[in-house]
A and B are shown apart, each in its own frame.
Chain A
Amino acid sequence: MNSEILGVVASFLITLLIAIPLGKYLAKMFAGERVWTDFLKPLENGLFKLAGIRPGEPMDWKQFLKAMLTINLLWLVYGFFVLMFQDKLPFNPDGNPGMTPDLAFNTIISFVVNCDLQHYSGESGVTYLTQQIIIMFLMFTSAATGIAAAVGLFKAFRDKTTTNLGNFWEFFIKSITRLLLPLSFIVAIVLAFNGTTASYEGKDQFISLQGDTLNVSRGPAAQMIAIKHLGTNGGGWYGANSAHPLENPSYITNMTEIISQMIIPMAMILAFGYFIRRKKLGWIIFGVMTAGMFMLMIPTISSELGGNPNLTKMGITQATGAMEGKEVRIGPLATGYWSTLTTIVSTGSVNGMHDSTMPLTGAWQLLGMMINGFFGGCGVGILNYFIYLIIAVFISGLMVGRTPEFLGHKVEAREVKIAALITLLSPFLIMAGTAIAAYVFNNHGDADWAVKPANWLNNPGYHGFSEMLYEFTSANANNGSGFEGLGDNNIFWNVATGFVLILGRFLPIIGPLAIAGLLGKKKYIPESAGTLKIDTVTFGLMTLAVILVLNALSYFPALALGPIAEYFSMIK
């Protein structure tokens, strides 16, 4: 047990040791100041030249969004067809089939939006070609899209009054050349030298010790696992994701993977403070997010370490905690730690099956995704948190009776309206989606789909409801983890979550950038005694309260029907 505690504490400390300097570096690098990675400039300039991009060219918020949306739309269309016809393309050593149109629709959206909900299994649903040129490609580019969007927002608040959010392409490419690609290379090598497969060999066959003929799926996984975590993507090479022993072979690779998925989301928060020359604000936000993280993590770990009460009743010894769906080399403590981080930072990779975790653990996982602003995904985490900040500024303004201001810009009706709409979007998509699914399950159980609605759920009762709620929550948060017992590869789930994914991604990027664009061009009001200071602990707590109240009001009823009801039925 002590070695397990040591492992988790070490993981967290190493994360901080990397994330803090990385944050400073990112702020400098994106601001165009001199940094030690400037030796990569020739590579960047080559990319700019080949793509016909002039990096310094300013963009206002509308141009910035247009560039971002154009390239994302291109990937959607192109990827959809490649996935459908992957069986006719080369590099398919295992002879896997092409995707059905609804599965291709879901999969391409899922990876373009940095979610990585997987309604297929990596071993049999995609080929080596599509794993690399579609899945892994999008892991890099969707993360870079999020980071570039966040830097656009930073830029709006760096100068007193500006219409220039910077150049989308420049931020996008620099996110890859100066951050994601070098780090991925290092992480991939660490994984490969600790047992993760990295070569292009296909399935292997051999005779086991007992004389059975066995097959083992393999492939260039390490390359993908590195960016899967650094880019908070989460889609696995293998079906079992990071629980798979060739994807996550040891406790050391487990630490490597959990550290890599936290460092960029953490660093981006600090980078915000340094970039806009308000270091303290960065640290206050960092503090609020860390507090939120521990509020979710501590009860999660305690409920997993306690084991399953139903198994205790049978007389089984659960010395290390609940083991269903978990791996011995990782253990329940590190799995609990991971499950909190993967749900708050929107990675969605799993090193143990969430469907089999304790009911309250499920509730904390759901809540982490519903809030979706404690660190959050690459770049988009700070965008989500920005919406909470605007709401908190507005409410505080009402409380003290002053016109609300954000960093020297008046927050007026238009900005608050956008923020309110974005806030309402998540509960709407999650609840409406789950309600429709529950209705179809109950009333059209025999619909002739690839998986009949009556057979969707792997577990009866409250837990079955949680499976449906989890799927929509994960889709909306662009998280990508699942209660994987759900029979989700059919037209209903592929199409329904496809729409939720795309709305849950782009509206929460467009909204904050629009607000930033609108605020940035307003006249700068210098700070006075009457200004509401937002880089204080008091305002940090205010934001935390706003986050908790908003989310509790929105989601408590749904959580009560699923995990909370299951918990009470279990301990009765």
Chain B
Amino acid sequence: MKKYIIQSIRLTVVLTVLLCVIYPLLVAFVSKFSAGKGNGETITVNGKVVGYANVGQKFDQPQYFWGRPSAVDYNAAGSAGSNKGPTNPDYLKQVSDRVDTLLKYHSYLKKGDIPADMVTASGSGLDPDISPEGAAIQIKRVAQNRGLNAEQVTRLVNQHTEKHIFGPATVNVLKLNVALDQLKK
């Protein structure tokens, strides 16, 4: 028994060095050669970081495309989904309120135009993307608020719709909004 205890202690020490020091440092070193240098890929405007490409941020001003509802209000110091069950009456009320809000700011929409991702909270609360349909319904509002014509904005949305061989098509909200700001100048 004593033999096993000593072996266990020695093994734990050597494995800690191998698995918790050498292995992670090696990966961290190699990751320095990746696009984001292992820190997460940032997006800069005029030399200033305005966000992380893969981390959603809150957009509620009328001149921007909006992202999905978030259970953590896009506070990326943490992350969480709503964890609301599909039959929870409070949750259904919340969804219906979100639909009303969207209809209020997009008076040209009918309920059936609204895709599910725009009124449901994401799993992380930090979803950087919306569906192409989610972007399409906002084009008119954004164009009006920026004094642009809708075709210009549609073209921009199409440029920012990422189609993939595997997996659904996505529109990265932050990248789209950055491009939108640059269009104005």
Q: Which positions in A face B, CB cutoff 8 Å? A: 3-4, 6-7, 10, 47, 50-53, 66-67, 70-71, 74-75, 78, 121, 123-124, 132-133, 136-137, 140-141, 169, 173, 176, 181, 184-185, 188-189, 192-193, 195, 197-201, 203-204, 206-210, 212, 214-218, 220, 222-223, 238-240, 243-246, 249-252, 254-255, 307-308, 310-311, 314-331, 334, 350-353, 355-359, 458-463, 466, 483-485, 566, 569-570
Contact = CB atoms under 8 A, between A and B. Distances in A.
B85 A71 contact: no
Contact of A192 (B31, B55, B96, B166): B31
Given A132-B24, A252-B166, A459-B88, A189 B30 contact: yes
Given A199-B39, A459-B85, A311 B124 contact: no
B127 A327 contact: yes
B147 interface: no
A327 B86 contact: no
B116 A323 contact: yes
Contacts of B112: 315-317
B140 interface: no
11 contacts: A3-B163, A3-B168, A132-B24, A192-B30, A198-B31, A199-B32, A209-B177, A243-B79, A250-B54, A324-B81, A327-B123
Interface of B: 1, 4-12, 14-16, 18-20, 23-24, 26-28, 30-32, 34-42, 45, 48-61, 64, 68, 74-89, 91-92, 95-96, 99, 111-117, 119-131, 133-134, 163-170, 174, 177-178, 181
B57 A220 contact: no
A209 B51 CA distance: 8
Contacts of A209: 45, 50-51, 57, 59, 64, 174, 177-178, 181
B12 A243 contact: no
A459 B84 contact: yes
A189 B27 contact: yes
Contacts of B131: 320, 328
B12 A74 contact: yes
Given A52-B10, A319-B115, A351-B123, A245 B78 contact: no
A67 B4 contact: yes
Contact of B167 (A121, A329, A566): A329
B11 A317 contact: no
Nearest to A74: B8
B22 to A, nearest CB: 10
Contacts of A570: 86-87
A321 B117 CA distance: 9
B83 A485 contact: yes
Given A140-B19, A243-B81, A243-B124, A359 B87 contact: yes
Nearest to B53: A195
B167 A356 contact: no
Interface centre among A199, A207, A322, A462 (most CB of B within 10 A): A199
A411 to B, nearest CB: 31
Given A315-B112, A353-B123, A214 B6 contact: no
B183 to A, nearest CB: 14
Contacts of A220: 24, 27-28, 38
A474 to B, nearest CB: 14
Interface centre among B10, B123, B174, B178 (most CB of A within 10 A): B123
Contacts of A240: 79-81, 123-126
Nearest to A50: B14
A316 B95 contact: yes
B38 A198 contact: yes
A244 B55 CA distance: 8
A317 B115 contact: yes
A198 B27 contact: yes
A249 B28 contact: no
A381 B108 CA distance: 55
A4 B121 CA distance: 21
A212 B51 CA distance: 11
Nearest to A172: B11
Contacts of A66: 1, 4
Nearest to B165: A3
A246 B40 contact: yes
A203 B32 CA distance: 18
A52 B6 contact: yes
Contacts of A52: 6-7, 10
B118 to A, nearest CB: 9
Contacts of A328: 68, 117, 122, 127, 129-131, 134, 168, 170
Contact of B54 (A195, A254, A318): A195
Contacts of B85: 355-356, 359, 458-459, 463, 466, 485, 566
Contacts of A188: 27
A461 B4 CA distance: 50
Contact of A199 (B38, B82, B181): B38
